């Protein structure tokens, strides 16, 4: 029995340690699987973690297997008081026990049998920490697998480049220190995601922030090997025994050359590829969008974001403006665009629900899109406007301009009729048929009252002349004819004798009480208003016949035509301002006393500093050399200083003066070696120096040439003609 308990204990304890080891091994394996050995430091940590975990697990397993039966007995005594600290008696031989010990041994054996050790565990282990460690390890492993993979750092194949030394003497080529091999490696910055690569020529064009490494091998140890950037302080290479290295992080364009034991190489360019800011192109919506009443209050955003190395994040800043006048309130919200990964081009498609933004009729939305790249680039688009039409303001402004009755009777607005119709259609399934028809008829009555009210602006005093059949609804023709039969004592011209002169003059009379002769509006505005009344009649007809769904399009069209009428009745008045009276110049001008006014006596001496003095001195030396054809070794110093000024100007365009600097280096080498100067090189250098000097300012000169009377007369005739 004790052997079975020991076996169960050892298995349970080994399971807990296995769970802890599995958590550590999962993290290390995830690191190796994700990045392999592309990142040496992480790979070393992962291998060390797995190795330590395996060694620790084996050591713990060895210690668990050494668990003895006495340790199991002590554990049972601590766990179960009913054993009376006598479990160790089961390990002793019954023949060596006294009578009392044998009785106690039998009692303990019976107690263990009651505990059913073969069916139930009679011990508990603290396994919460092990399961927590396993869960944490699995979460870390999943997070590591979700991270982006490291860039593939393929081995860089060295490419030997050639560097020229124009000043190196040919006679000492066998004994002097020379460069046998130069390898230039460019490591782009992390934000580009590019792998290191080898340069093909000494003139480099690298990314902004890249690290350039020069590896030089010479035939014998060099006394001094330096790199000179922009004619600044030389930077020495590190190394010995003929192998030298140097690394520099480049952030600005430059010209550089190598200096080996005092000998200078040709000039080479170091150009920079700048990191471009993200480009944002918004295709939808338009710069100004107006959502009319009845249209869905949604705006579709369709944009394209692009960057040369990848977009890190992008969002949209939306500002909602509510209210009017001095009571305008603004609320700003940041809306994420759901970018995932690191892509160079991203297409954004997002639907903006204006109701979720808390907008209603008359509110305005201002938004723009902004994006960041992996470096320091940032861009934002122009501001776009979205406005929801407020029809209540439109109708209120129209009523104020009409002014037929200062205190008009109550009537429903066209907007309210549309709202009631939509509400009725929404509740159609939940109300009875009788209630539905009654509400539809009541809305039709409100539409009729509104139509008659707007009809007054056209001179109508009844509902005739609107819609099909003269605007009289079906079934009411008899009522209208009865009204005409009753009359008010005046016969209508269409029933009189056509031979009557009054009937013949009737079409040409100006009558203000007839709808056709109403002159409140212009003809174009009146035509739009009559069209709106016709749409109201169509809507009323369908509402009175219990067809509100068919009436809704006519209601919307009537509302839009009323909006057009309101816009056409606006009047713009020019702003007036204060106009000052004209001054009386003849009376006031030149009438003051100037006795107390003294002229300014301050004098300033402005010293103009000559630009590019070394270049001017070099041009003077060049002119003197062409006249005499001789030079001295000290002239090389003048050309060196002029070359430094030329190199400073070449920083703005490293490729512009590269050939000129190389020719200048050849001329200096000729002077130092005492050889004949290179004539084509002198011509190239002279053209560059002349182009570098600023243009000469023209100053007025006194004419010292005396002309004859005939020549002066000739010039006078030329000027007159």
- Is residue 225 left, alpha or beta, with left meaning phi > 0 and alpha meaning psi from -120 to 50? beta
Q: Which two tokens stand for residue 415?
A: 């907007």
Give the separation between CA 33 and CA 150, rounded to whole angstroms. Answer: 11
Of 432 and 668, more confident: 432
Give the separation between CA 474 and CA 452, rounded to whole angstroms. Answer: 17
pLDDT at 175: 62
User: Strand 345-353 and strand 298-306: pairing?
Assistant: antiparallel
pLDDT at 474: 40
Q: What percent of the chain has pLDDT over 90?
A: 10
pLDDT at 507: 62
Give the separation between CA 721 and CA 709, rounded to whole angstroms. Answer: 18
The CA distances from residue 651 to 256, 271, 616, 693, in Å, are 11, 9, 20, 16
pLDDT at 582 over 50: yes
pLDDT at 686 over 90: no
Of 439 and 614, more confident: 439
Mean pLDDT confidence for 517-543: 82
The 10s digit of each residue's pLDDT in 689-707 is 888 777 766 666 565 556 6
| DSSP codes joined into one string, 172-236 | TTTTS--EEEEEEEEE--GGGTPPPEE-SSSSEEEETT-EEEEEEEESS--S-EEEEETT-S-EE
Give the separation between CA 553 and CA 482, rounded to whole angstroms. Answer: 34
Q: At what angle do helices 128-146 and 2-35 cross, to 10 degrees?
A: 20
Distance of CA 46 to the CA centre of its chain: 37
Is the Cβ–Cβ distance between 313 and 374 less than 8 Å? no
The CA distances from residue 255 to 273, 351, 510, in Å, are 15, 52, 93
209 closest CA partner among 264, 153, 273: 273
Is the Cβ–Cβ distance between 225 and 236 less than 8 Å? yes
Most confident of 178-187, 604-613, 665-674: 178-187
pLDDT at 483: 39
* Architecture per CATH, 179-273: Distorted Sandwich (2.70)
Give the separation between CA 714 and CA 513, rounded to whole angstroms. Answer: 90
pLDDT at 276 over 70: yes
The CA distances from residue 206 to 216, 248, 251, 254, 601, in Å, are 20, 12, 9, 11, 59
Mean pLDDT confidence for 9-14: 73
pLDDT at 128 over 80: no
Per-residue pLDDT band at 596 (split at 50, 70, 90): low
Of 606 and 206, more confident: 206
- Burial category of 494 from C-beta neighbours within 10 Å (exposed 0-12, middle 13-18, buried 19 and up): exposed
HEC states along 110-177?
HHHHHCCCCCCCCCCCCCHHHHHHHHHHHHHHHHHHHCCCCCCCCCCCCCECCCCCCCCCCCCCCCCC
Segment among 227-236, 376-385, 400-409, 573-582 with least mean pLDDT: 400-409
pLDDT at 27: 79
User: Strand 204-207 and strand 268-273: pairing?
Assistant: parallel
Of 675 and 198, more confident: 198
The 10s digit of each residue's pLDDT in 202-227 is 888 899 889 999 888 888 888 888 88
Mean pLDDT confidence for 31-44: 68
Contacts of residue 157, Cβ cutoff 8 Å, sequence gap at least 6? 198
pLDDT at 571 over 50: yes
Per-chain mean pLDDT for the chain: 75
pLDDT at 421: 92
325 sits in which H/E element: none
Is the Cβ–Cβ distance between 221 and 255 less than 8 Å? no
pLDDT at 511: 57
Mean pLDDT confidence for 236-252: 86
pLDDT at 491 over 50: no
Q: Hunting for tokens 């565990």 — which residue is that? A: 121
Q: Which two tokens stand for residue 450?
A: 């509104």
Per-residue pLDDT band at 440 (split at 50, 70, 90): very high
Segment among 98-102, 268-272, 572-576 with least mean pLDDT: 572-576
pTM of the predicted model as reported, rounded to 2 decimal places: 0.47
Q: What percent of the chain has pLDDT over 70?
A: 69
Most confident of 200-204, 582-586, 608-612: 200-204
Mean pLDDT confidence for 122-131: 60
pLDDT at 702: 61
pLDDT at 105 over 80: no
Give me the phi and psi of 140, to 5 degrees please: -65, -35
546 sits in which H/E element: none
pLDDT at 653: 63
The CA distances from residue 486 to 340, 447, 480, 481, 489, in Å, are 81, 28, 10, 9, 8
Of 123 and 357, more confident: 357
Q: Quick one: fold of 279-389?
A: Immunoglobulin-like (2.60.40)
CA 130-131-132 angle, 5° bins: 90
Segment among 81-95, 207-221, 365-379 with least mean pLDDT: 81-95
The CA distances from residue 79 to 71, 72, 116, 124, in Å, are 12, 10, 15, 9
User: Strand 268-273 and strand 254-260: pairing?
Assistant: antiparallel
pLDDT at 368: 92
Mean pLDDT confidence for 615-637: 83
Segment among 153-157, 288-292, 582-586 with least mean pLDDT: 153-157
Mean pLDDT confidence for 54-81: 73
């Amino acid at each position: 029995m004790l052997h079975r308990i020991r076996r169960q204990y050892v298995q349970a304890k080994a399971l807990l340690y296995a769970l802890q080891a599995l958590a550590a091994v999962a993290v290390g394996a995830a690191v190796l699987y994700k990045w392999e050995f592309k990142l040496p430091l992480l790979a070393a940590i992962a291998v060390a973690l797995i190795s330590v975990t395996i060694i620790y697990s084996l050591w713990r397993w060895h210690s668990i297997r050494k668990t003895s039966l006495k340790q199991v007995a002590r554990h049972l005594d601590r766990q179960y008081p009913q054993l009376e600290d006598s479990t160790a008696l089961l390990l002793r031989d019954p023949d060596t026990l006294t009578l009392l010990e044998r009785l106690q041994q039998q009692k303990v054996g019976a107690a263990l049998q009651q505990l059913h050790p073969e069916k139930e565990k009679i011990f508990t282990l603290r396994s919460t920490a092990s399961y927590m460690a396993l869960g944490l390890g699995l979460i870390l492993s999943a997070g590591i697998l979700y991270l982006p993979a490291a860039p593939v750092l393929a081995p860089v194949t060295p490419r030997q480049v050639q560097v020229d030394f124009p000043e190196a003497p040919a006679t000492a080529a066998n004994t002097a220190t020379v460069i046998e091999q130069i390898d230039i490696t460019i490591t782009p910055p992390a934000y580009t995601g590019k792998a290191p690569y080898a340069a093909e020529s000494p003139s480099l064009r690298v990314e902004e922030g890249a690290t350039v490494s020069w590896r030089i091998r010479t035939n014998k140890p060099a006394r001094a090997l330096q790199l000179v950037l922009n004619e600044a302080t030389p930077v020495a290479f590190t190394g010995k025994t003929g192998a030298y290295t140097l690394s520099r992080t480049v952030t600005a364009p430059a010209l550089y050359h190598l200096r080996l034991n005092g000998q200078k190489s040709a000039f080479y360019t170091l150009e920079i590829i700048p990191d471009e800011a993200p480009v944002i192109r918004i295709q939808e919506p338009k710069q100004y969008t107006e959502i009319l009443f009845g249209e869905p209050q949604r705006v579709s955003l369709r944009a394209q974001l692009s960057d040369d190395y990848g977009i890190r994040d992008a969002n949209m800043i939306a500002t909602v403006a509510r209210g009017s006048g001095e009571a305008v309130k603004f609320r700003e919200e940041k809306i994420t665009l759901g970018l995932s990964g690191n892509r160079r081009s991203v297409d954004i498609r997002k639907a903006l629900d204006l109701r979720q933004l808390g907008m209603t009729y008359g509110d305005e939305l201002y938004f723009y899109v902004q994006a960041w790249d992996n470096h320091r680039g940032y861009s934002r688009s122009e501001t776009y406007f979205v406005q929801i039409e407020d029809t209540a303001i439109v109708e209120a402004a129209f009523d104020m301009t009409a002014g037929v009755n200062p205190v008009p009777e109550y009537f429903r607005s066209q907007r309210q009729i549309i709202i009631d119709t939509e509400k009725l259609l929404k509740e159609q399934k939940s109300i009875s048929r009788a209630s539905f028809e009654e509400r539809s008829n009541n809305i039709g009555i409100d539409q009729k009252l509104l139509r008659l009210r707007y009809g007054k602006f056209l001179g109508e005093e009844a509902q005739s002349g609107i819609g099909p059949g003269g605007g009289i609804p079906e079934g009411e023709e008899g009522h209208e004819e009865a009204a005409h039969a009753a009359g008010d004592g005046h016969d209508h011209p269409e029933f009189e004798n056509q031979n009557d002169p009054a009937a013949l003059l009737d079409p040409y009379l100006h009558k203000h009480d007839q709808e056709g002769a109403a002159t409140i509006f212009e003809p174009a505005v009146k035509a739009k208003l009559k069209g709106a009344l016709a749409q109201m009649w169509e809507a009323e007809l369908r509402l009175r016949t219990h067809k509100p769904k068919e009436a809704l399009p006519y209601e919307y069209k009537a509302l839009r035509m009323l909006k057009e009428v309101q816009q056409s009745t606006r009047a713009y008045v020019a702003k007036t301002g204060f106009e000052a009276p004209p001054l009386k110049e003849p009376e006031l001008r030149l009438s003051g006393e100037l006795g107390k006014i003294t002229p300014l006596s301050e004098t300033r001496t402005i010293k103009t500093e000559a630009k590019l003095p070394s270049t001017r001195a070099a041009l003077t030396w060049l002119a003197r050399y062409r006249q005499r054809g001789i030079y001295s070794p000290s002239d090389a110093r003048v050309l060196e200083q002029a070359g430094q000024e030329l190199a400073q100007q070449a920083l703005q365009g490293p490729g512009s003066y590269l050939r000129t600097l190389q020719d200048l280096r050849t001329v200096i080498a000729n002077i130092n070696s005492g050889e004949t100067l290179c004539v084509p090189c002198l011509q190239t250098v002279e053209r560059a120096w002349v182009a570098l000097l600023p243009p000469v300012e023209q100053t007025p000169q006194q004419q010292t040439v005396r002309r004859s009377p005939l020549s002066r007369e000739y010039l006078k005739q030329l000027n007159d003609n």
